[in-house]
Amino acid sequence: MTSPLKVGIAGLGTVGGSVARLLQEQSAVLARRCHRPLQVVAVSARDRNRKRKTPLDHLEWLEDPRQMIGHPDIDVVVELIGGADGVAHDLCTGALQAGQHVVTANKSLLARHGHTLAALAESRGVTLAFEAAVAGGVPIVKTLREGVAANTIERFYGILNGTCNYILTTMAKTGAPFAAALKEAQTLGYAEADPAFDIDGVDAAHKLAILASIAFGTQVNFAGVYCEGIRQICREDVTAAASLGFVIKLLAMAERTADGVIQSVYPCLVPKDRPIAHVDDVFNAIMLKGDYVGEMFMQGRGAGGNPTASAVVADLIDLANARQTRPFGTAAAELESLPGLPITRREGHYYLRFQVRDRAGVVADITGALGREGISIRTLTQRDESHSGGSVPMMLTTHRCREQAVQQALAALAPADYLEEPPHLIRIEYL
């Protein structure tokens, strides 16, 4: 009888609870697919008395997850606590140092410390696996690292945050304002009580930085991600986008150029006929293009206990079958350190919204400021709903132009007394 691969689970919340349950409920399937049986031997969380999804009384309970470090009965530490620093960081670092494998779903930890942790894992000859850290149940990490490893990837993009996608989908389908759509997402458990990480784009930026490292063979560079969230998106934008043939999506995009890597997360207008425009609600999706494989599109559930547990256990199955890979595909020492390029390097189309006092000369003033920067206007819409002197939204889209030029035009317009609020810019991605 082969000796089991002994597992310690740290964190028994949404994901950890589902992992423990999956390992119990699917034990027969897993036994057939693993060379070595998977055996959970110890668990840890904050509150021992909290009711869990599955009975765990037969397992060793550790008051502090750090007691798993160097524990003689634990081969693999599964870290499902969360947070870039603190306990999760101590646990992962300590376990790798002690020669234990680590499986984690912790994107903030990997976005900040991924390179150091990967180097540590490689130096100790153990695995750091994190399929669950990006796009939940969608196996994009393995696809990029192994499935398309024969290709050069120059660009990929995706919807990597289900909360934002749910909010934007709800706004488009029901006409709800941002605040109401966010509230609904919170009621349904799709958004945290403090949703800042999601709606400000930080969560998607963490995931993008991890994927870019694998795709381009570069060091994780979270600080180099340009990041904008969806708080500014209003009903006018959603309606105007629809009337022009677009939907608004929060896209995470990365491109490797001769000068460096562009990584960005921002809401953008996407033509309705693109596959990514049809990825709705809490779903995630990634589109990548390899030079040999061509285009590839993956879609699935990007969060939630069960889909995320599916990814965590896939990593455990790899370990039980002795399939070990370098965490980011390329050896940590060989991951390049390329500069992150600023968003002002972007060239493309833009949607601009101005909330203006309805009076003579305003349209000419705005179009004049854009014209002076060489920006030509493609469409212009002004809602005719106020009496003269009232406040109206004015929306326009541009032909292809430089971001820097748009920013300069908006800066020149900033002092205008007819502007009721700062102009709002949303990029258009024809993809």
Ligand X SMILES: NC(=O)c1ccc[n+]([C@@H]2O[C@H](COP(=O)([O-])OP(=O)(O)OC[C@H]3O[C@@H](n4cnc5c(N)ncnc54)[C@H](OP(=O)(O)O)[C@@H]3O)[C@@H](O)[C@H]2O)c1
- Known catalytic residues are 207
- Residue 39 exposed, middle or buried by CB count within 10 Å (0-12, 13-18, 19+): middle
Site membership for ligand X, residue 158 (CB under 6 A): no
Orientation angle between helical segments 178-187 and 162-174, nearest 10 degrees: 120
Name the residue nearer to ligand X (CB basis): 224 or 302.
302
| Ramachandran region, residue 105 (left: φ > 0; alpha: ψ -120 to 50; beta: rest) | alpha
Distance CA 48, CA 62 (A): 9
Name the residue nearer to ligand X (CB basis): 47 or 57.
47
Site membership for ligand X, residue 107 (CB under 6 A): yes
Site membership for ligand X, residue 16 (CB under 6 A): yes
CB of 327 vs ligand X, minimal distance in Å: 16
Distance CA 63, CA 396 (A): 59
Contact pick of 5, 6, 9, 11 for ligand X (by CB under 6 A): 11
Stretch that binds ligand X, among 230-238, 249-257, 303-311, 411-419 (CB under 6 A): 303-311
The CA-based diameter of the chain, rounded to the nearest angstrom, is: 86
Site for ligand X in 52-81 (CB under 6 A): 65, 80-81
Site membership for ligand X, residue 303 (CB under 6 A): yes
Residues, the chain: 431
Contact pick of 195, 304, 393, 423 for ligand X (by CB under 6 A): 304
Site membership for ligand X, residue 9 (CB under 6 A): no
Site membership for ligand X, residue 14 (CB under 6 A): yes
Name the residue nearer to ligand X (CB basis): 100 or 408.
100
The pair of three-digit structure tokens given for residue 343, joined into one six-digit string = 């968003």
Orientation angle between helical segments 162-174 and 235-243, nearest 10 degrees: 70
Contact pick of 34, 38, 76, 105 for ligand X (by CB under 6 A): 105
Stretch that binds ligand X, among 21-29, 45-53, 119-127, 210-218 (CB under 6 A): 45-53
Distance CA 68, CA 300 (A): 33
The answer to whether 134 and 301 have CB atoms below 8 angstroms apart is: no
Contact pick of 34, 42, 44, 340 for ligand X (by CB under 6 A): 44
Residues 204-233 as x/- pattern, contact with ligand X by CB under 6 A: ------------------------------
CB of 203 vs ligand X, minimal distance in Å: 8
Name the residue nearer to ligand X (CB basis): 12 or 41.
12
Name the residue nearer to ligand X (CB basis): 212 or 311.
311
Name the residue nearer to ligand X (CB basis): 260 or 307.
307
Site membership for ligand X, residue 138 (CB under 6 A): no
Distance CA 88, CA 92 (A): 6
Contact pick of 43, 74, 106, 315 for ligand X (by CB under 6 A): 106
DSSP β-bridge partners for residue 44: 10
Distance CA 233, CA 424 (A): 9
3-state SS track over 222-263 = HHHEEECCCCCCCHHHHHHHHHCCEEEEEEEEEEECCCCEEE
Residues 181-200 as x/- pattern, contact with ligand X by CB under 6 A: --------------------
Q: Which candidate, 20, 5, 8, places its Cα nearest to that of 308?
A: 20
CB of 181 vs ligand X, minimal distance in Å: 19
- Residue 44 exposed, middle or buried by CB count within 10 Å (0-12, 13-18, 19+): buried
Distance CA 206, CA 225 (A): 9
Q: Which candidate, 14, 13, 29, 1, places its Cα nearest to that of 316?
A: 29
How many residues of this chain bind ligand X (CB under 6 A)? 24
Site membership for ligand X, residue 165 (CB under 6 A): no
Q: Which residue is nearest to ligand X (CB)?
A: 13
Residues 309-348 as x/- pattern, contact with ligand X by CB under 6 A: ----------------------------------------
Contact pick of 45, 126, 214, 338 for ligand X (by CB under 6 A): 45
CB of 74 vs ligand X, minimal distance in Å: 15
CB of 149 vs ligand X, minimal distance in Å: 24
Query: Do strands 261-271 and 246-256 pair parallel, antiparallel, or not at all (unpaired)?
Result: antiparallel
CB of 343 vs ligand X, minimal distance in Å: 26
Q: Which candidate, 284, 119, 293, 285, places its Cα nearest to that of 213?
A: 119
Q: In whole angstroms, what separates CA 68 from the centre of its chain?
A: 29
Site membership for ligand X, residue 308 (CB under 6 A): yes
Q: One-letter amino acid identity for 394? A: M
Residues binding ligand X (CB under 6 A): 11-16, 44-47, 50, 65, 80-82, 87, 105-107, 132, 136, 303-304, 308
